[in-house]
Structure 1
Amino acid sequence: MAKKKNKMKKKQWITLAIYILSIILMMPGIFVMYLNAANKQFKGQITFGSNNHDYIFPQKPVHLSGKIVSNRDTIRLIVGFWRNYITGFGAEYETMKVSLDSLGRFDVTLPQIDHPFRIQIGDAFSHNLLFNRNQIAEPGDSIFILGIIRDQDLPSDSNFTAVFTGKGSAKYQCIQALKKNPAPTMYHIPTTESKIEITDSLINAKLRTVSNFSKEINQDILETMKADIIGDCKFNLSLSIFSDIIYNKSIQPNVKATKKVIFDDIMQKDHIFISNDILSQSAGYTQYVYLKEKLRILFSLGRNQMTYKALYENIKSLYDGKLKDKLLAYCSLNTIDLVEFFEGSDPDEFRDCLEDAANNIKVPWLNEPVKKLLSTRAKGAPAFNFSLPLDSSSRRINLEDLKGNVVLVDMWGYICTSCYRFAQAFHEKVYPEFQNNKNFKVISIMLDPYADRDKYLQRLRMENGPAYTFNTYINLYGGKNEQIAREIEKYYNINVAPFIILIDKKGRIYSTTIPFFTEKNSPNIEKLSALIRKALAES
């Protein structure tokens, strides 16, 4: 009985704390007195990326501490950050799990970085974000966070809010203030004219919010935040208006012509009075420009004729300076788009574009990851020589032992719809042509750091789900506690599943831009078959 009373009292105290904190969060002006002295940051020119600074910040860590309250039983706080933000995924993104004590208090110090960078904080259980990648941190920030997570059915910007004090906190207060003007769901707005009008109003409202912090935030960072706003809003607008142009391969000519008129009209008014150097630092604006140039090529060539090289050359010809460097790096490193949108790309064209990017990108922190991709994923690069356990045995298979064969390596996740759909379509439509060719092998690897050997064996036995692999393949375990598998992920910077590569007879990369498909009637089936035939024909 006493335990039950104590539990009830605890819940009452949590409810009261949430109520009081909710009132505080509605009155951020109370904290203004703390901000003026705390936010005197460096006012010089800055860049978001190592190795190319007009001003090098002192090596200082970012310190985050505070208290989170919630009516949830469990909170799992995750701090993510990007030392250098280009595409935002893969090896660019690092995370830290943050421990909370029984009162919801936490204290975490991020690595020392000598330039402004992007961070996000979220709750892994409720999937709510306190702030996303638009939050910029500066070396030396020391932020106290008083936050609240509201347990709701669906994640929302309003479910995780906070107030901030301390050195550099104006940037964080600004992002929270922007959450009060959330982007609408564009697909529910009936007309294009209304979508454009609402987007313009939203941009203006958000820019006014940012301007309220102009005396407290570094001017270049303030301008970058504005570029993020404009880019994100225009990206969402473009995606909602032109989604059929992007994804539909058989769009009617009259629909395409109508959309082309709308696109041309939007492009005529697409002016921004922010320098290219600042725009190159903006995550949202880079993403928007990439989509805009993709649309430009789509209207010109059509969905079926568009190639990765056409997009790359278009970007290269239209932009200059640091913005050109950023866009070429984004185009080169956006390997998810190579699979999901282009559904594969000619391996020679992909290598040529990477070589061109590596030779032309001048900003070091943008150039370095492109060169790494060229040395690991381009045609002719050495394939990673892994050694992994075979099936359920302790025997290990080395990739080097298969030299002299063309090898297709299919790396899949334990729970992955695209993985099993590709595997089944490949096995039925492509594999029969090559299964009796002694110089062709298929390696299937469960590459999943969270799936253990028992789960792997379930997949081999085709238990509890669809077939991810087949017993005629060389089946290898790359799951939990298999360190070599993690080295494979790092070497290729794998950020999508399945990840499929074709290796030539000399153990070199033949293609990492495999024609991808999940349907058994896809035209990419013949493209992949032709690619394998070509690889087999070469010595």
Structure 2
Amino acid sequence: MKFIQKTLVAPLFILICMVGVLNAQPRFSGTLRSLQNGKSSFDSVVISFFRPNCPEGVVGQAIRLRTDKDGNFSFQLPKYEGISRMVFWTRYKQKTVNGTGFLHYMVEPEDQIKIDIIRNDSTQHAELAFSGYGAEKYNIAYQLEKIAPSRGPFGTYRKTINKDIVLDKPENFAHKLLQLEKLTIETAQAKTDLIQQSGLSKKIKKMLTYNYGAIYHEWTWRMNDYRAKYSKQNPEVSELIKASFLKNKQRFSYPFDPLMANCPNYLATVAVDEARNLYLTNGKVDLPALYKVFESKYSGLTRELLIANMALKKIGFVREMAIDNHVIDSLLVAYEKYITKPFIKEAYTTKVRLLAGTPIFNGVFKDISGSEVAMASLKGKVLFIDMWFTGCGACMEFHKIFHKQVYPVFKENKDFLCISLCIDKNNSQWLNSVKSGKYTSQEYLNLNSTLGVDHPFFKHYGISGFPFLILLDKNGKIYASNINPKPDAIITLINKALML
């Protein structure tokens, strides 16, 4: 009897622990240490997390925290039904530590993870190691992204190509393409071996395969770049590249699987890969053809997310694709029927509010003198609206180019007005930025929301990324919002609006 009691104690203890894990929220703790001395100081840790099946362009939630004096930190995430997504990065002496913020991790509800971060102070780079319940998939994802990252810095696959397989002389292309094929096969096999040797479930192994180590994405990028370079100057080489692509694309790509809907990294890369596939196969690519691929090749939630990603974040646009705002808007309307998940539909509907011909939301803002200015009061002119915030490097760069190359073309036109719309909550900070000339010019109509992105105008359109550009016609209706930021494209667009 005593023997029976002892044998039952261990299974019962394990069962109690498992119930505790299954009922817990995902929990994370970690330690940041210096490689040089093993010590740590106060560092910052930022965590962004997203609910399951969250499309690109939808802002997640964020946690910001400081480590204690020993470099320790901890946090927990909401318990979602299904696999969510998390990205975190650390900062040391006000600088982001390289190697911590390039990977979007898959988070299961029961994960209990310990993160060890070793920072090299001389290179400002860090290495990560994961332990605890559910840690194996984190470690494998981390290793796979070093091969061919879906997001972030170059991996070993690309570095090897750049070093050993340089396609520079057309007469060597046939041999070099065979070398590239061999390297890709070997790299893909190494990826497969790493995943299959793990003790993870069949489902998680598949998702790791799709979501990390984007070898096919790297390969299509390389092939696309080669063909674009030689398509006109050497048609024979262009056909050679096409033949190599057609020979290998089935080998290196993955057939559709519903699990792909749970793999945001993959959905972001495969949209671009499908566009490249069209270009490599046909010598051209356009947006309607890409939407047709999404419609015919994919189904269910995967198709819904591909279409949502395209609408919300332009995931799938490639440089060989012509951008026509009216075509984009018509496709948004035509493919809205595939958007069914409520929170995705909400984000998609917000995007539809920016369609050409839609009256602009009558937001009210403050000018430099403190007076209120309503959008509705500015009818009668073509309005170019540039939205920005203090500290935005991309905003500074856009203003520099716009003010030098675009604004001089229209500054004397009485039917044109440039509106510089800032989201700074600190009014003094905004006024100082206006005076600095880094983000705007005092020649424009400078307005401030004073409420940041919480202003009704930004909430109405779901605007969270900057700079954000909108062009209005003389009737106060949106003429374009998917604006190509190149000066020539903007000049052409404004001229068309002025001719109406």
What TM-score, normalized to structure 2? 0.78
Please name the residue that 1:62 is paired with. Answer: 26
Please name the residue that 1:423 is paired with. Answer: 403
Please name the residue that 2:374 is paired with. Answer: 398
Aligned to 1:128, what secondary structure does the other structure show?
coil
Cα deviation, residue 409, structure 1: 0.8
Q: List aligned pairs for 1:38-49, cutoff 5 A.
A: none
Please name the residue that 2:356 is paired with. Answer: 379
CA contact (8 A) 2:366 2:372 kept: yes
* 1:330–1:176 distance in 2 versus 1, CA, 3 Å: closer
Pick one of 458, 461, 469 that aligns with 1:492.
461
Write the letter of the residue equivalent to 1:119. Answer: M
CA contact (8 A) 2:471 2:479 kept: yes
Pick one of 442, 456, 466 that aligns with 2:418.
442
Q: Distance in 2 between the 1:485 and 1:244 partners?
A: 45
* 1:172–1:328 distance in 2 versus 1, CA, 3 Å: same
CA contact (8 A) 1:503 1:511 kept: yes
Pick one of 262, 265, 275 that aligns with 1:281.
262
Please name the residue that 1:164 is paired with. Answer: 131
Cα deviation, residue 136, structure 1: 1.1
Please name the residue that 2:302 is paired with. Answer: 323
Give % identity.
Answer: 20
Please name the residue that 2:107 is paired with. Answer: 137
Cα deviation, residue 224, structure 1: 0.7
Q: Distance in 1 between the 2:469 and 2:480 partners?
A: 9
Question: Residue 531 in 1 paired to residue 496 in 2?
Answer: yes
Q: List aligned pairs for 1:240-319, cutoff 5 A.
A: 240-243=222-225, 252=233, 254=235, 255-272=237-254, 276-299=257-280, 306-319=285-298
Aligned to 1:68, what secondary structure does the other structure show?
strand
Cα deviation, residue 501, structure 1: 0.6
Q: Distance in 1 between the 2:351 and 2:458 partners?
A: 13
Aligned to 2:109, what secondary structure does the other structure show?
coil
CA contact (8 A) 2:52 2:262 kept: no
Write the letter of the residue equivalent to 2:325. Answer: P
* 1:435–1:530 distance in 2 versus 1, CA, 3 Å: closer
Q: List aligned pairs for 1:186-225, cutoff 5 A.
A: 186-190=161-165, 191-214=176-199, 217-225=200-208
Cα deviation, residue 277, structure 1: 0.2
Cα deviation, residue 117, structure 1: 0.7
* 1:114–1:508 distance in 2 versus 1, CA, 3 Å: farther
Write the letter of the residue equivalent to 1:315. Answer: F
CA contact (8 A) 2:58 2:347 kept: no
Aligned to 2:79, what secondary structure does the other structure show?
coil
Please name the residue that 1:346 is paired with. Answer: 324
* 1:319–1:333 distance in 2 versus 1, CA, 3 Å: same
Write the letter of the residue equivalent to 2:108. Answer: E
Q: Distance in 1 between the 2:211 and 2:453 partners?
A: 38
CA contact (8 A) 1:344 1:515 kept: no
Please name the residue that 2:312 is paired with. Answer: 333
* 1:435-481 per-position Cα deviation (integer Å, ceiling 9, x unaligned): 222xx4321123467x874465354453xx5xx43344211235xx6
Q: Distance in 2 between the 1:371 and 1:424 partners?
A: 36
Unaligned runs of 5+ in 1: 1-35, 43-56
CA contact (8 A) 1:244 1:251 kept: no
* 1:86-136 per-position Cα deviation (integer Å, ceiling 9, x unaligned): 554x33333211221111121212233222111122213343344754421
Please name the residue that 1:21 is paired with. Answer: none
Please name the residue that 2:48 is paired with. Answer: 80
Question: Residue 98 in 1 paired to residue 65 in 2?
Answer: yes
Cα deviation, residue 73, structure 1: 4.7
* 1:516–1:121 distance in 2 versus 1, CA, 3 Å: closer
* 1:402-461 per-position Cα deviation (integer Å, ceiling 9, x unaligned): 2344322112354332332133221123x15x7222xx4321123467x87446535445
Q: Distance in 2 between the 1:59 and 1:497 partners?
A: 40
Q: Distance in 2 between the 1:154 and 1:148 partners?
A: 10
Aligned to 2:246, what secondary structure does the other structure show?
helix
Q: Distance in 1 between the 2:328 and 2:135 partners?
A: 43
Q: Distance in 2 between the 1:390 and 1:178 partners?
A: 51
* 1:510-529 per-position Cα deviation (integer Å, ceiling 9, x unaligned): 221224314xxx3x255313
Cα deviation, residue 286, structure 1: 2.1
Aligned to 2:224, what secondary structure does the other structure show?
helix
Question: Residue 148 in 1 paired to residue 118 in 2?
Answer: yes
CA contact (8 A) 2:473 2:497 kept: no
Unaligned runs of 5+ in 2: 1-13, 149-154, 166-175
Please name the residue that 1:475 is paired with. Answer: 446
CA contact (8 A) 1:84 1:365 kept: no
Please name the residue that 2:7 is paired with. Answer: none
* 1:295–1:483 distance in 2 versus 1, CA, 3 Å: closer
* 1:328-377 per-position Cα deviation (integer Å, ceiling 9, x unaligned): 22222223766x84898433322221112211244555444323311x32
Cα deviation, residue 265, structure 1: 2.2
Please name the residue that 1:27 is paired with. Answer: none
